[in-house]
A and B are shown apart, each in its own frame.
Chain A
């Protein structure tokens, strides 16, 4: 597509439910990132893929969070047994190159998925 697409844009769920957030990166982009952003703060790194390989998941808060990118394109971030503290904007980004140190290291962000856990 023309840009990074995320769905759903808004998700309201009850505590304890599982949620899946989807990211469709720009076609042909090698790298895909997930960030979480609290109001008034900068994006917080969660995890990162090169093609289908998860390169770094050190930012995932705990084992309730997982991400996959099985065919090297679309990615899903899953949060199991959601808690109120999981409420945030979840942002996906992609880049042409393999990582921010490549020659094409700038990230292209989607509009985000706002998650509210009641």
Chain B
């Protein structure tokens, strides 16, 4: 079963615009991670945010976490065509430290 759901399922924007993706999850977590996947290739880790953190930045990426609402958002600023990919959130549950459970993903298309 999958823990998280991303919203929207698909997003199309122009280069230079910002892209915002949301992730909702069901159980208490220790951390939440975001991954990118290009065209069916291997997933690449982007950023990890712990349950006691509210916001984290990495280059053009900004991640927020609201544990009271069990949700996270990923913002990509000044998007580029190369950002076209699927983005997944993944959660490590606080009561089960073994699994990293992935969401359903957001497919982002950035047009030049």
Contact = CB atoms under 8 A, between A and B. Distances in A.
Interface of A: 4, 33, 35, 39-45, 48, 55-56, 59, 89, 91, 93, 99-101, 105-112
Contacts of A41: 2, 104-105
Given A44-B2, A100-B92, A109 B43 contact: yes
Given A45-B100, A111-B42, 15 more contacts: A35-B102, A40-B105, A42-B2, A42-B102, A43-B102, A91-B42, A99-B97, A100-B30, A101-B31, A105-B92, A105-B100, A106-B33, A107-B43, A112-B40, A112-B41
Contacts of A99: 92, 97-98
A109 to B, nearest CB: 4
- Helix, strand, loop or mixed for chain A's interface? loop
Interface of B: 2, 30-31, 33, 35, 40-45, 48, 88, 90, 92, 96-105
